[in-house]
Amino acid sequence: MFRILIAELKQETATFNPAPTTYGDFQIHAGDEILRAYSETRTELAGAFDVFQKTRTDEIQIVPTIAAAAVSGGRILDAALDRLLTSILDQARRNSDVDGAYLCLHGALAGVSEVDPEGHLLTKLREILGDKPIIASIDLHAILTDRMIEAADILVPYHTYPHVDHFQTGRRAARLLIRLLRREIKPTTARIPLPMLVRGDELITATGRFGEAIGMCQVIEESAAGLAAGVIIGNPFTDVPDLQSNVIVTTDNDPELAREKAEEIGRFMWDNRELFQAQLTSIDEAIQIAESTDGLTLFSDAADATASGASGDSNAILKALLGREFSKTALLSIAPAVKTAFNAGPGTRITVPLEGTRDPDRFTPVDVAVKVERLFDGPFEYEDGSEGRPGRVAVLVAENIHILATENPVFVVGQNVFKAHGLHPEEFGVVVVKSPNGFRPWYEPIAANIVPVDAPGSTSANLKSLPFKNCVRPIFPLDENVVSPFVARDSDSSQGA
């Protein structure tokens, strides 16, 4: 009988968002409650449980400990991070007689002081479990560190963007863990760091060039000696010292093959680096495009994407629309300007400062004369069935602009966030979503035009607009003439020839 310790710790930290993440932002499950909460989902943990349950019943017993996950946000406060790490490690100490561990991680956590929480967690877990197998699954937006690679036997990354393979990733990780427990394999990992940050549509694995690199990883995983492979591009909004892109390939006791394959994929990524940048349109130009478009123009404001960890209270596009002649109607959202509207009541006309207050270095409030059209209080349902928690909501109208003001930041990706509050996106000339790509299934059917807008914000795809202080330098595209990571290797081989 193999007893397997299970833990989850996930958040994608956006360090350019000044609002910190607190302990209360994490949804936490403990012990058997984890099984109940996750079994019916499409998550990594569910995928792993599926494999464990289908393995001979007398062979595997799982020991669920703590599962903690939060939506994206600013750096995690030290006390909060400490409490999370300590609770997982305490459980591991109490169960140190397990035979192995599966950790479900994101990989891009950042505390105020600890910039590599996953490396810390894996290293401490290694100290507790000795040489017993440890496998971790990670997001391909993870910040890969030496500590993570050294402490884990195998890291198993996602293979899709937008991410739709959580369940499969958990299955891949669980299968490898069972092979390790049975002593069938001896993993060896090669890593090729790439001094590049990437963004843009070519990263969509189903349609973009990045999908070819992932395809190469999958061929390796399907080969006899291949165990795990991935391109860990890092979350560009987690500005910590190890932020860059990486290729990792793990083989069964064949370090040369791992090296060779990792280098092949690394070269492919490096050679295509110019392609992996976002093509953005200025706000003014975007408004002109909307003006001359028949039907709905969708503005993608990825810079204020709450799903990526931004504050959700950007008023940049609102200001631009108010400041010029615009003959059509517009629909946008903003957090958290609702208090005055609630005091005034529906039907009243008021002048309110519209945010941002959460990210005051980037946005200053603008006074807008509005009519309070409708007020709401309470949750609504997103397209995937999960609950949106906007707190109090006010629908405000400033001439031709409808503004959805929410007390708390919400995901503005699908249509339900608007429809739940009586606003129908197809009736507008412009709709602003706060999302880089996830909006597409909901808006492609109704939009005549989709424009990725170059607005300011803590999660801007215009990477040069962000105040990077900590990441690997020099790095593409922030710096000029970044030296190819393959230059030394190439000149070595030419000297030898």
Tell the smallest beta-carbon distance from residue 140 to Zn ion (Å).
6
Of 297 and 308, nearer to Zn ion (C-beta) is: 308
For residues 155 and 122, the answer to whether their CB atoms sit within 8 Å is: no
Could you write out the DSSP letters of every residue in 366-389? Answer: EEEEEEEEEEEES-EE-TTSPEE-
The dihedral through the CA atoms of 365, 397, 292, 290 has a sign that is positive
Q: Is 10 in the site for Zn ion (CB under 5 A)?
A: no
Rg of the chain, C-alpha, whole Å: 24
From residue 308 to residue 337, what is the string marking binding to Zn ion with x (rule CB under 5 A)? ------------------------------
Q: Is 141 in the site for Zn ion (CB under 5 A)?
A: yes
Which span (37-45, 138-146, 166-174, 348-356) binds Zn ion, by CB under 5 A? 138-146
Tell the smallest beta-carbon distance from residue 142 to Zn ion (Å).
8
Of 141 and 159, nearer to Zn ion (C-beta) is: 141
- The pair of three-digit structure tokens given for residue 348, joined into one six-digit string: 């009243």
Which span (18-26, 131-139, 303-311, 313-321) binds Zn ion, by CB under 5 A? 131-139
Q: Is 201 in the site for Zn ion (CB under 5 A)?
A: no
Q: Is 8 in the site for Zn ion (CB under 5 A)?
A: no
For residues 146 and 201, the answer to whether their CB atoms sit within 8 Å is: no
* Beta bridge partners of residue 250, listed in sequence order: 189, 228
Which span (136-144, 226-234, 404-412, 440-448) binds Zn ion, by CB under 5 A? 136-144
Which span (19-27, 135-143, 356-364, 447-455) binds Zn ion, by CB under 5 A? 135-143
Query: What are the φ and ψ backbone dihedral angles of 327, each rounded to 5 degrees?
Result: -85, -10
- The pair of three-digit structure tokens given for residue 305, joined into one six-digit string: 């994407």
Of 91 and 238, nearer to Zn ion (C-beta) is: 238
Could you write out the DSSP letters of every residue in 208-236? Answer: STHHHHHHHHHHHHHSSSEEEEEEE---T
Tell the smallest beta-carbon distance from residue 330 to Zn ion (Å).
30
For residues 170 and 176, the answer to whether their CB atoms sit within 8 Å is: no
Which span (130-138, 139-147, 253-261, 339-347) binds Zn ion, by CB under 5 A? 139-147
Tell the smallest beta-carbon distance from residue 137 to Zn ion (Å).
12
Which span (27-35, 140-148, 169-177, 316-324) binds Zn ion, by CB under 5 A? 140-148
Tell the smallest beta-carbon distance from residue 380 to Zn ion (Å).
25
Cα angle value 471/477/478 (rounded, 5°): 50
Which span (134-142, 196-204, 357-365, 396-404) binds Zn ion, by CB under 5 A? 134-142
Give the 3-state DSSP-derived string for 292-324, with helices as H, strands as E and coil as C: CCCCEEEEECHHHCHHHCCCCCCCHHHHHHHCC
Number of chain residues interacting with Zn ion (CB under 5 A): 2
Range list of β-strands (E), 107-237: 134-138, 154-157, 187-194, 226-232
For residues 94 and 31, the answer to whether their CB atoms sit within 8 Å is: no
CB-based closest residue to Zn ion: 141
Of 114 and 139, nearer to Zn ion (C-beta) is: 139
Q: Out of 25, 44, 116, 139, point to the residue binding Zn ion (CB under 5 A).
A: 139
Tell the smallest beta-carbon distance from residue 206 to Zn ion (Å).
15
Q: Is 159 in the site for Zn ion (CB under 5 A)?
A: no
For residues 308 and 436, the answer to whether their CB atoms sit within 8 Å is: yes
Tell the smallest beta-carbon distance from residue 131 to Zn ion (Å).
31
Tell the smallest beta-carbon distance from residue 429 to Zn ion (Å).
32
Of 172 and 267, nearer to Zn ion (C-beta) is: 172
**Secondary structure element (H or E) that encloses residue 260, with its range:** helix 255-271
Tell the smallest beta-carbon distance from residue 160 to Zn ion (Å).
10
- The pair of three-digit structure tokens given for residue 417, joined into one six-digit string: 């966030």
With 0-12 / 13-18 / 19 or more C-beta atoms within 10 angstroms meaning exposed / middle / buried, residue 491 is exposed
Q: Distance between CA 48 and CA 347 in Å, rounded? A: 53
Tell the smallest beta-carbon distance from residue 435 to Zn ion (Å).
13
Residues that bind Zn ion (CB under 5 A): 139, 141
